[in-house]
Amino acid sequence: MTAKGFASADDLSDKTVTFEEIGPGLYAYTAEGDPNSGVIVGDESVMIVDAQATPVMARNVIARVREVTDKPIRHLLLTHYHAVRVFGASAFEDAAIIASDMTRDLIIERGEQDKASEMGRFPRLFRAAESVPPGLTWPTITFPNELRIFLGKREVRLLHLGRAHTAGDVVAHVPDADVVFSGDLVEYRSACYCGDAHFTEWPGTLDRLAALRPRALVPGRGAALKTPAKVAEAIALTRDFLATLYESVHASVARGRSLKEAFDAARAAMDPKFADFAIYEHCLPFNVSRAYDEARGIGWPVIWTAERDRELWRELQE
């Protein structure tokens, strides 16, 4: 078997950015499977959902915002702690940085390791790494389960609906338009990254998201979902991805298979349905490793490091 290039190290092609309105004053910044950002324009100010990987990339988001409004950007929501979402935060100079309490705890516990890990996995997204200030990105406002922010008269509900992609995931719900910005809780025709996931809790968190009955939704990766039917499709695809993966790995653990055997079995189950999804190959070893741990009773995800990433890749993909 030909060795596969590590994670997304060989993915050097720039993606086409789409910036589109999905509701009144609500915009999706998407880029063919790269991490998405969201824009919420109120009558007095603007909230950004997820900062991108570097300040240079964040300034591309800001430039798009300035095409539609000159209102100040007062709030930046970090839907979770992963570096590709947060390290562009310094570009939003006057914005309060908001995250869940748990996201802040995860930054304390594993932020440095995650930064080094993600930069190694996806160098294209960090080509402007020199623009990232030293240290980690810290929220200035945190909350346990729910926070209401008013951009003038427009309300944004920030909700920690449960553990899923990480233990600290947050969604932004704009009630007046029935629009949700989900972060990586939902993906659309992109692999779910599950290296820090809670597989058995993620479906229940999706249930609580679906109960909001969004008319439109911006997923963590993939195209904006502009109808209820598309939202339902994306949630169903996310559920199927998680179930196919975890059920396969859980069965392997029950049979006493090794991690490599579980990986091969998971690939056989996953490839026919998901091999054409964005970042599928990148995610699969990390996804199977985390599923294997959870199926063996390891409830809290093991911290990823750049060294652990490479060792796992050699074990499973080469």
What's the pLDDT tens digit per position in 149-168? Answer: 999 999 999 999 999 999 99
Phi and psi, residue 126, nearest 5°? -115, 25
Burial-class residue 16 by CB neighbours within 10 Å (0-12, 13-18, 19+). Answer: exposed
In sequence order, which residues have a C-beta less than 8 Å from that of residue 261 and are 6 or more positions away? 252
* Half-sphere exposure at residue 301, Cβ-oriented, CA atoms within 13 angstroms: 27
Is pLDDT of 186 > 80? yes
User: Quick one: which of 56, 34, 37, 55 has its CA closest to 46?
Assistant: 37
Q: Are strands 73-77 and 46-49 parallel, antiparallel or unpaired?
A: parallel
**Contact (CB, 8 A) for 114 and 81:** yes
Confidence of residue 4 (pLDDT cuts 50, 70, 90): confident
Is pLDDT of 312 > 90? yes
Nearest-angstrom CA–CA distance, 87 and 52: 7
Is pLDDT of 239 > 50? yes
Q: Which domains does the chain have, with CATH numbers?
A: 18-317 (3.60.15.10)
DSSP conformational letter for 222: S
C-alpha 316, offset from chain centre: 24
